[in-house]
Chains A and B, each alone.
Chain A
């Protein structure tokens, strides 16, 4: 078990390293100059050079990459200066002459634009994304399993055909189209009935009452985000349920004299849910990874929203930090899912 987790974590770090390198070079291909973005249009050359030097942007790309990785590494060698101490917040392991070997938390640098620490920006926006992903997934899983179950039990009836057709629409509708339509229909045309806004955040700062929780604002983005997983979960539950219902052990359960609902809920559903769990977890990871379109269209402050804003301003540390964080979530969620898998199916042993 422990070996399994260690092994998966080793693979996971390789994935994150890959993401780091790819995003780093892709970022360089974006048009626009971050220094110009920071300094404004009318700065003289010497100021620009000073800014570039300050952020290490004057160095060659490979050197920049290495320096970034050095900042990320939990163990590194630095000159022992008070500035470095303040910047990295390290604890010294050993002295190596002028330099020290230190242990620290990964340093994600500061935003070019706001000079805020990137880890703080991520934490700040993470809450919105987590809530959104969680609510969307809860909705999708609950309704999806129910729909799938109905479709399977009423196979080849009107309900089955209706649910399957709906799920096909759900799978094929692009999220940005769905987001815009849902936002306009429910947040604008039907706003009088639904009482919902087109856009909005979880926390709204009111000039008089201060920071307020607005739970109703999550409904539309979560619904939009949940449509596709809902459709897929419906189809998966349906097909896996149909498969399980034709198994020999279901016949055994009938032969015991159990009633139909015990057979479906106890004997069939537990077996049928395995593929569903995989799908749910995969989606959960990608939903946490930021639903870029949905967050931007509903103006929902989350990781996706902040990443898009930073790409627009070529704010390299924020984009890089957010991307790496997302990759980390992906890796961790997948490991958790595999462990969960073993918990629901006793036949799976986590050996390799």
Chain B
């Protein structure tokens, strides 16, 4: 299926690609008339939020769209294969396509945890690809695999060769996936959110690995992510997608320094920044108006902000103001005191069920939280931050140590009175999709805790209060009798917040409450949380793995590592002047996405790459 080659410099040309899904509720245009090119040795980043069609684009390139319901209905994908010449991937037979997959175009997926087959060893899975596409025997394939494991910097490659996926860490799994993808020296590597599921320090090492391997082998990469910071670290060119369409494409420098499309502007402005404290996060709707048909128009008349720079300038809080607030907070009495808290879980038991060994999820942690303060709790997965949050509420019983809430030990609350405690202390969970019962209307869901705690005297008064709460979180009164599935992720998280507010709590623990949300939605929810704090004088513990989000929210930050407090201090100090090596590493690992960083990365990249005139 050879086609005429149009430009020698291209490895991949996507012209008017259309991938539609046929669902019961009608046709969904997941990728709608998308055209872009990939040059040899170039890295193109595709950025967009959930539902933008970026993943479907990447799966279309590999022809991995499940049919039914999905189908490539139009357009062409011209691949300039080194062995087959220029071919249109959309017209290849399944058999021909299988020779391309894993061999000339390969893919790294988002979830390293589930993308490896649990019942085969890592070595076997990488070897399988090599044996499939190359004429080598088993012994040679094993040698190639171990060499690859060395290249992707896996420790003890021979041991990992014989390990099953569950025996190695998430970052190591992703390295195995990368080794698998690179095993046949592909001309194009498609990386679909390869670092999203990983901790930020691991993400930094994986990005570095991908950069090095790309520079060594001259592989062309299509890098898909929702995170603009990551894009800035790796891509040469950026494609911004929104609702199945490309809204803007250009070099990284152009996109970051001079975004043209209002959506790109909004996306750039709404990321919480590490270098300055913002009062309110700008949101996409400050820049763009979307009408009912999905047409986007820039808000020209009286926009809140006209550019990204203006959005930031109008918003940041200066140092004096921060200092003033810090001093004011210290004068408040501590509302919550945690003293030598320990939470341990048994990991092995002896014959008679007696516990032999514990893992200390929270290991001797002490801190105070003052009235009206927001304390941020950051750390990587497994550091014990969630366990700590839950043990404060006694959703997990602490093993030892005390927690005082308003000078009363929470372990003194028993039976009925613990309910009283939970009325005062509320939690907002991570996943807005699973923390609402799908069979209960949202009005009922918000009313339920009010009934249990006998807030207000009758249901009529409660219903009025619920409607008031819905309006507080920018939802409408007529949402009362709707079911959770009718709402988007951000709306659901706002419903969860309304449910929390229903009990008039004094203290709210937000456990990764915005982690599952898109950046633009995240900005809205964070702004809402801050507004509510001003209004009701809440005290927050804000738990997150994302230091930039925590820095935006928190007055003070606690950095946790392996169950212990690594460092505790004012948000600005943690960022500008980290005291421990761990905090330092954590801060450095965060993709900055500012122009300075981009220039540095681009300079380094130029050494390896023939500059591309754009």
Contacts and interface: CB of A to CB of B under 8 A. Distances in A.
Contacts of A351: 348
Interface string A248-259: 110111111111
B132 A258 contact: yes
Contact of B132 (A254, A256, A270, A346): A256
A55 to B, nearest CB: 41
A256 B115 contact: no
Contacts of A344: 119
Interface string A263-274: 000010011000
Interface in B81-119: 95, 97-103, 106-107, 109, 111, 114-119
B387 interface: no
Contacts of B102: 255-258
Nearest to A267: B117
Given A3-B351, A257-B101, A257-B133, A346 B62 contact: no
B115 A251 contact: yes
B128 A249 contact: no
A42 interface: no
A248 B103 contact: no
A346 B117 contact: no
A259 B97 CA distance: 10
Contacts of A267: 117, 120
A249 B124 CA distance: 14
A271 B116 CA distance: 12
A280 B288 CA distance: 60
A256 B118 contact: no
Given A346-B166, A347-B164, A347-B166, A257 B117 contact: no
A258 to B, nearest CB: 6
Given A256-B128, A258-B128, A346 B351 contact: no
Contacts of B100: 257
Given A7-B351, A252-B109, A345 B98 contact: no
Interface string B326-368: 0000000000000000000000110100000000000000000
A271 B117 contact: yes
Contact of A247 (B114, B120, B133, B177): B114
Interface residues on A, range: 20 to 34
Interface in B518-551: none
Contact of A249 (B118, B133, B349): B118
B349 to A, nearest CB: 6
B374 interface: no
B442 interface: no
Nearest to B68: A156
A352 interface: yes
B78 to A, nearest CB: 19
B111 A248 contact: yes
A259 B98 contact: yes
A251 B109 contact: yes
Contacts of B116: 249, 252
A343 to B, nearest CB: 11
A258 B127 CA distance: 12
Contacts of B166: 346-347
A267 B117 CA distance: 7
A253 B133 contact: no
A215 interface: no
Interface in A335-352: 344-347, 351-352
Contacts of A30: none
Contacts of A66: none
Contacts of A7: 351
Given A255-B106, A259-B95, A259-B98, 20 more contacts: A3-B351, A248-B109, A248-B111, A248-B115, A251-B64, A256-B106, A256-B128, A256-B180, A257-B100, A258-B98, A258-B102, A270-B119, A271-B117, A271-B119, A345-B119, A346-B119, A346-B166, A347-B118, A347-B164, A347-B166
Nearest to A274: B119
Contacts of A45: none
A248 B64 CA distance: 12
B129 interface: yes
B28 to A, nearest CB: 19
A257 B114 contact: no
Interface in A228-251: 247-249, 251
Would you list the 10 A-B pairs with minimal beta carbon distance, nearest first?
Answer: A257-B101, A256-B102, A257-B102, A248-B114, A249-B117, A346-B164, A257-B98, A248-B115, A255-B107, A256-B129
Given A346-B166, A347-B164, A255 B117 contact: no
A6 interface: yes
Given A248-B111, A346-B164, A346-B166, A253 B117 contact: yes
B565 to A, nearest CB: 32
Contacts, number: 73
Interface in B121-137: 128-129, 132-133
Contacts of A257: 97-103, 129, 132-133
Nearest to B63: A254
A7 B107 CA distance: 46
A255 B101 contact: yes
A3 B353 CA distance: 12
A255 B61 CA distance: 11
B503 to A, nearest CB: 39
Contact of B115 (A6, A249, A259, A352): A249
A333 to B, nearest CB: 23
A322 B98 CA distance: 58
A254 B349 CA distance: 41
A271 B164 CA distance: 14
Nearest to A10: B351
Contacts of A270: 119
B244 to A, nearest CB: 21
Contact of A252 (B97, B99, B115, B351): B115
A251 B118 CA distance: 14
A267 B95 CA distance: 19
A352 B62 CA distance: 44
A257 B115 CA distance: 15
A6 B95 CA distance: 53
Contacts of B132: 256-258
Contacts of A253: 117
B109 A254 contact: no
Contacts of A248: 109, 111, 114-115
20 contacts: A248-B115, A251-B109, A252-B115, A252-B117, A252-B180, A254-B64, A255-B101, A255-B109, A256-B106, A256-B180, A257-B97, A257-B98, A257-B103, A259-B95, A345-B119, A346-B119, A346-B164, A346-B166, A347-B118, A347-B164
Q: Which of A3, A251, A253, A345 has the most CB of B within 10 A?
A: A251
Q: Which of A7, A248, A256 has the most CB of B within 10 A?
A: A256
Contacts of B115: 248-249, 251-252
Contacts of A254: 64, 101
B132 to A, nearest CB: 6
Contacts of B177: 252
Contacts of A247: 114
B356 to A, nearest CB: 11
Contacts of B97: 257
Contacts of A258: 98, 102, 128, 132
Nearest to B95: A259
Interface in A118-164: none
A253 to B, nearest CB: 7
A352 B118 contact: no
Nearest to A250: B117
Contacts of A259: 95, 98
A255 B64 contact: yes
Interface in A299-352: 344-347, 351-352
B119 A256 contact: no
Contacts of A256: 101-102, 106, 128-129, 132, 180
Nearest to B133: A257
A6 B352 CA distance: 11
B84 to A, nearest CB: 14
B419 to A, nearest CB: 34
